[in-house]
Structure formats: C-alpha cells, structure tokens
Amino acid sequence: AWKNWDREGLAYGFQGFDGVDWDIEGVDDVASADNVMSLKLLDMIGQFSQLAKAEGYITSLAPMQSYLDPTTSDFSRALTFEDPQYHHILPAPFKYHGHNCYAYLLAKYGSSSYDLIFVQLYESYSKAAYAIETRHKDAAAYLAHLLDLYSQGWLVNFDQDPTVGIHSQIVTVSPQQLVLGTANA
C-alpha cells in the first residue's frame, strides 16, 4: 500500500519517499500506557521495515541511548526507568529511560532490516552525558569505546519479558549501520 501511495504521488509532482526513519519514544506522563512499547507496535515496525527494504526503500531506527544500550543486559518494553547515576544530581527522579526496547527489533527482525541506526546520545540525562559532562571522561575515548561495544555485541536478557517470545541473545550493530547522534553536546 505504501509503495502504491508513493507512486501515485509522482503524478502530482511529489518526488517520492526514499524510506522511513523510526523514532518512537515515550511521553511526559509517566503513568501513560504510551510509555510501554507494545508488541503490536514493535512488530509493525519490524514487519514494515522488512517489506520496505525488500522494495528498495531505506529503513532506519533512531533509538535513545537507553533504548539500545550495550552497557546493560536489561530488557523491558517499559520506558519509565531511572538512571541511578543521576540520583545525587537531580532534585527529582527522571523516570523516562528505557532498557533496550529497540534491541527486540534487531533480535527478531535482524539488524539487516535497517540501513542505519542513529543512537541518540543526547537523550535527557543519558549515560553519554553523565560520562562526559559529570565524570569528565574524554569524549573521543568514550565514543570509541561505545562504538566497540555496539559492534562487538552484548547480551540482552529478553527472558525478562516472556511475552516477547524470544530468548536472551547477543545483539550487535555493525559499524556500517551505526550513527551516534551528539546534538546539544
């Protein structure tokens, strides 16, 4: 249907789409049901991406750092976690981090379903910001280490959410796919 719609637009002077970029995030109300990535949504993204790739479209993901985080094996579709590193800094808890929810897409649908993966290191109160701004780690060294972690792969404990129907496994992002977003840095 998308391909047909894209073609029909050409008749009206529209140049067509090159692809799709998935940038799904939670909302500002911590109690909202929209702060859980539903399996229906995740599977729609995965299936659509596979079909789009098969038709020659570009597909990409834009997860926040906590949504695809090689420094932890934790997995959850909930987007309401705190990062304990910030407890001593913030006046109130910031409960809008995830635990590798985008890893589900790579594990179930394959990393080859996506041309690019733009990891948003500028997520509010990200691990990158904490390491560089608070702990004063060298930015180049931190980024190089992060690139290594993504390309080497990390264990994601999908068994923490039995409803996803996949077992814990190693998830990787190839250097050819990986883009580190550093806006506001």
The mean pLDDT of 88-107, rounded to a whole number, is 90
CB 130 within 8 A of CB 97: no
Q: Is the pLDDT confidence value at 184 over 70?
A: no
The pLDDT value given to residue 123: 85
CB 94 within 8 A of CB 82: yes
Lowest mean pLDDT among 17-21, 37-41, 61-65, 161-165: 17-21
Q: What is the pTM of this model?
A: 0.91
Residues in Cβ contact with 152 at an 8 Å cutoff, skipping those fewer than 6 apart: 70, 172
CB 159 within 8 A of CB 100: no
Q: Is the pLDDT confidence value at 185 over 60?
A: no
Q: How many CA atoms lie within 13 A of 38 on its CB side?
A: 6
Q: Is the pLDDT confidence value at 175 over 70?
A: yes
The pLDDT value given to residue 161: 97
List pLDDT tens digits, range 33-44.
989 999 999 999
Tokens representing 104? 């589900």
CA 105 to chain centroid, in Å, comes to 9
Q: How many CB atoms lie within 10 A of CB 175?
A: 10
Q: How many CA atoms lie within 13 A of 109 on its CB side?
A: 25
CA 99 to chain centroid, in Å, comes to 10
Percentage of residues of the chain with pLDDT beyond 90: 64
